[in-house]
Structure 1
Amino acid sequence: MLFAVSMTFIDQTIVSIAAPDIIRELGLSSVGMQWVVNAYLLSLAAFFALGGRLADVLGHRRMALIGTLTFVVASALCGAVPTGGAAQTWLIVFRAVQGLGAALMFPAALAVVVEVFPVQRRGRALALFFGVAGGLTAIGPVLGGWLTSWTWRAIFWVNVPVAVIAVVLTLMARIPNTGRREPIDWPGAVLVASGMALSVLGLQQAASWGWGSPATWLCIGGGLVVLALFVLFELRTRDPLIKLRVFTDRAFAADNAVLFFSMIAFVPVFFFASVYAQVALGQSANDAGLYLLVFFAGFAPGTQVGGRMLDRIGARPPMLAGSALAAVGFALWARKITDLSLGAQWPYIVMAGAGIGLLLTPASTDAVNRAIGASYGEVTGITQTVRNYSASLGLAVLGTVLLHSTTTDVQEVLLAHGVPADAAHGAAEQITNGITGHGAGSGQGAPGVPAELADAVRGAFAEANGPVLYGMAAALAVTFLCALFHPGTRVTAEPAGPAGRTEPAGAAAEVPAGEDGTV
């Protein structure tokens, strides 16, 4: 399962690194390239809920294989894109198919891991699962830079041997395929996919269209209206796509709230740190990837400690400790962001990563442990939908904060050094274009800006990143408050009973944290 999901995490970050080469060879527009990147994330967000439900109905092993094959075929076709007028459409379509494959695969793969390990060992197992996943997200830019030096098509073809290994290992493992003979709520699937796609599209395009654009709010508002209709429809459906009563379990609701607010910081930090390393520190794309690995140096051990704490004392203590540690880490990182050296920042980057790792595994695992009638695919679909939506929200809002801060800080610094207003505005615009995907550059080479002011531009951009990191710290402070809402009980036995039962998931198998509930 780790081999299967590794492709999905790497592909979230690897394509951005190869964007300049893809644009140059295929003649894509910058807007078209942005759609190539966004199509994958958009499709992923739209189909997670359906993927989780299909995993429960058709069987976890079967859907893991179907998702893997869908993903790798789409990857191979992305790498085989022909040159010419159809190239842009070709890439966007098959990137969306990649996202569909990932949405079918991931809930099923996670459900397999959950099903294989008993509750008492599940925290450690999923700590490894999420630890590797986080590492692969960070490695994506490094791997992308290395593969692109050969050919950008290799960033898609590298998935083929990984998928072959995943399929072979899945067949060798002889994982039981336990499906359920239940109908699938297709109207609900259409509603949730449409609502997620519309709202996430609005968030993705906010930086390009502008927050004042009617199109932005039409997409976001329209998507939220459709999602509200989905909730009303599910409450009246006999066999819903998502059994919303699982949210009446206070612990499950708290787990998802923790995931929602923590993901505002976790996923976007890879993007913002990469841009910061390239613009403020003047690093290459490959070196910027190494900068991200400092965050992972804290994240990896954090996931392991969090998983073991979950198994011993429940989810509440590591979620509280992790959110507090991460909030402090991001705040201290923000204070040091203008020191343009990794040596001054790394302790706080590691602290931020360790805090995120400490809370991620307990929140994700505790939520899955509370599945209704052991509907692990369905619940993983819910948690991944929450995480994906939150990441899109974080990128949109914090990206807007960074754009505004960059424009203001860079122009103020250059104007103070006597640079003409037009040249100062051009330097700021060059950097913001790089952030939004419409170009690249640090602003150092903008017409009318003396080379000796390069350090001033870098320092101004570094200062502009401060509000972003403080925003992440604030999101993690809210995460801490959400963790306080968790009742502190822990699941010590598998949820049992038919999928249609009405009692809260795991209620008969909960014990207060700290008591011996060994089964």
Structure 2
Amino acid sequence: MQVSAPPAAKADRYRWVVLTNTTAAVFMSALDGSIVIISLPAIFRGIHLDPLAPSNIGYLLWMIMGYRLVQSVLVVSLGRLGDMFGRVKIYNFGFTVFTIASILLSFDPFAGGRAALWLIGWRVLQAAGGSMLTANSAAILTDAFPAERRGFALGFNQVAALAGQFIGLVAGGLLAAWDWRAVFWVNVPVGIFGTIWAYRKLREPAGGRHPGRIDWWGNLTFAIGLSAILVAITMGLQPHGGHPTGWQNPVVLIILAAGVLLLVAFVVVESRVVEPMVALALFRNRAFAAGNAATLASSLAQGGLQFILIIWLQGIWLPLHGYDYDQTPLWAGIFLLPLTVGFLLSGPLAGTMSDRFGTRGIATSGMLLFGATFVGLLLLPIDFPYWAFALLIAVNGIGSGMFSAPNTSAIMSSVPSAQRGVASGMRATFQNSGTALSIGVFFSLMVAGLSARLPAAMSSGLIQQGVPAGVAHDVGALPPVATLFSAVLGVNPLEHLLAPSGMLAALPAANQQTLTGREFFPHLIAAPFEHGLAVVFVASAILAVLAAVASSLRGSTR
């Protein structure tokens, strides 16, 4: 006679099924957010489109920002739908949607601008599927694990998310070298297996559904308002009317103002409807409010860091150390691995320790350590010794891991079961919105700093190498956005800027070699870029301190 396992053993086995499945899901979703960044050169070559042409920069920005925008906007609504109709049901459907979108992305039948629109459109659908996973995974974990083990489970899950972001940088470089479509193929087997596994094994907890009415006005004002703000930020990164950015564009300012007004309307709507999308009373809970405030501040500090470090490595440090521009995307991902290792080491440990000692002290200390690394990065020379850079970004990852898991555990444990889905979605919204805002703000600060100093340095440097003054001034006056993105895409910036005019071919061979060599552009951009780095790192350090202050105000959470 077969003896069935005791209920405690079954519950324990089920928890591990939940942890491994949701970990695979968030890893896949996070990996896809970064794998495309490093693969953009191969993708645009594959669809025969020059992303650095003035008319095509919009395609490039939306390939980077579109995924994050959708995830920022949808996670709260999808978390609320999970509370109403079943978190496992919405989560499982998200696996299916994500996998289908990955398949469609790899079968782009067009070329040029139409091919880029195809990719952007299916990336939006992919992001919608990823949002269903992100919005409900933390709630499903919280349902499955008892309070004394949640920190470990959520910490493990958060580690997978960050690991996916940075492993995507390396995997994208390796896969794109083979075939740009492989960047999307890599998700398909994981998606198919994860979908079948989730449908067969995951189950709704008893009392897991809390039927109610959909708050249409709340959903609309929130989605359109936040979308408008993020769209305005993305448009603000594009040159307009002779200015290096689009912040002087009246359309950008109108869209931004409309977004802010709609979010104000959202708060008014939520305070008056009977069944709101977000119960504003949650923010009277100190642990919930302080945890989300800390999440937003830390995401603002950290979100743009990845792009700034990539530009630093690809545009300056790697060429100065003998790497060709077309090799820099892959090597930038490899040289950033200490950041991932730091997070991998501290995340699960911090989550386990928070189960025993409480979340406030560990999360707050993590943010202070995280902020201190920006001071260290600020003190590095632009051509730094790698050991110092690696040590600082590893400590940065350790601090981030110390904060992330305990903070998530505190937020999710502070709300009643009926509202875990929307709480998970709100936490993800603060995190994703902070990341998107950070990218927009940091890029704008960097572009503004470069605009003040780069044109004169560029013009004088080109004239010294025999480029006629008129051409040199024209090249120097070009918006620095294209210069920055050319470095990110692994393209020799000066070769890209000078080749269309035919001037490069007319110069003596020695001058051509100097201009397109590995040292001329890094030395040219070093001083203006260092000024921009200082502004960005000071802002990140201040935001990290604000996140630590917010974390310390959460109260005792054991």
TM range (shorter): 0.7 to 0.9
Residues 1:439 and 1:339: Cα distance change in structure 2 (over 3 Å) = closer
Deviations 1:398-442 (Å, cap 9, x if unpaired)? 111111223344446557767469637736858631435797645
Instruction: With a CA cutoff of 8 Å and minimum separation of 6, indicate the structure with the bigger relative contact order.
Output: 2
Quick one: which amino acid aligns to residue 379 of structure 2? R
Corresponding residue for residue 460 of structure 1: 527
Structure 1: distance between partners of 2:379 and 2:491: 25
Q: Distance between the aligned counterparts of 1:412 and 1:342, measured in 2?
A: 30
Question: Structure 2 matches for 1:296-311, cutoff 5 A?
Answer: 296-311=340-355
Please state whether the residue corresponding to 1:490 is helix, strand or coil: coil
**Farther off after superposition, 176-185 or 447-456:** 447-456
Q: Structure 2-normalised TM-score?
A: 0.82
Residue correspondences, number: 490
Tell me which amino acid in the other structure corresponds to 2:163.
Answer: G
Alignment partner of 1:53 out of 80, 92, 98: 80
Amino acid at match of 1:180: H
Between 1:159-168 and 1:449-458, the stretch displaced more is: 449-458
1:447-475, CA deviations, whole angstroms, 9 ceiling, x for partnerless residues? 58854634522533651323222221121
Aligned counterparts of 1:459 and 1:342: Cα–Cα separation in 2: 17
Contact between 2:166 and 2:333, CA under 8 Å: does it hold in 1? Answer: yes
Q: Among 216, 221, 237, which residue is 2:273 paired with?
A: 237
> How far is 1:226 from its partner?
0.7
Residue 141 in 1 paired to residue 169 in 2?
A: yes
Do residues 167 (structure 1) and 200 (structure 2) align?
A: no
Aligned-partner SS, 1:465: helix
Pick aligned residue for 1:68 from 95, 117, 121: 95
Letter in 1 for 2:221: L
**1:384 is the counterpart of 2:412:** no
Q: Which residue of 2 aligns with 1:246?
A: 282
In the aligned structure 2, how far is the partner of 1:201 from the partner of 1:264?
17
Matches within 5 A, 1:117-266: 117-176=145-204, 178-209=208-239, 210-266=246-302
1:471 aligns with 2:539: yes
Kindly provide the CA deviation profile for residues 242-299 of structure 1, in whole angstroms up to 9, marking residues without a partner as x.
1111000112111111101100122222222112111111251110011221211222
Counterpart pick for 2:362 among 291, 306, 318: 318
CA-CA distance at 1:374 after TM superposition? 4.0
Alpha-carbon distance, 1:33 to partner: 3.3
What amino acid is aligned across from residue 248 of structure 2 in structure 1? Answer: G
User: Is the CA contact (8 Å cut-off) linking 2:23 and 2:156 kept in structure 1?
Assistant: no
Supply the AA of the counterpart residue of 1:103. S
Structure-2 separation of matches of 1:430 and 1:213: 15
For residues 51 and 202 of structure 1, what CA distance do their matches in structure 2 show? 24
1:311 maps to a residue whose letter is D
Are 1:353 and 2:353 matched, yes or no?
no
Residue identity matched to 1:239: E
Give the superposition deviation at 1:168.
3.1
Paired residues for 1:262-281 under 5 Å: 262-281=298-317
Q: Using a 3 Å threshold, how does the CA distance of structure 1 residues 216 and 173 change in structure 2: closer, same or farther?
A: same
- Of 96-105 and 18-27, deviating more is 18-27
CA distance in structure 1 between the partners assigned to 2:78 and 2:210 by the alignment: 14
Change (3 A) 1:46 1:91: same
Residue by residue over 1:199-228, the C-alpha shift from the partner in whole angstroms, topping out at 9 and shown as x without a partner, is 111122211152221122222221111111
The question of 1:2 aligning with 2:49 is answered no
Distance, in Å, in 2 between the alignment partners of 1:145 and 1:429 is 29
The alignment partner of 1:237 has SS state of coil
1:328 pairs with 2:395: no
Q: 1:196 to 1:145 in 2, by over 3 A?
A: same
SS where residue 557 of structure 2 aligns? strand
In structure 2, list runs of 5 or more residues that go unmatched: 1-21, 50-55, 240-245, 499-503, 505-510
Percent of aligned positions that are identical: 25
**Residue in 2 that maps onto 1:82:** 109
CA distance in 2, matches of 1:164, 1:77: 14
Question: CA RMSD, aligned part only?
Answer: 2.5
**1:506 is matched with which residue?**
none
Q: Which has the larger radius of gyration?
A: 2
TM-score, normalising length: structure 1: 0.88
Query: 2:132 — aligned with what?
Result: 104
Which blocks of at least 5 consecutive residues in structure 1 are unaligned?
492-519
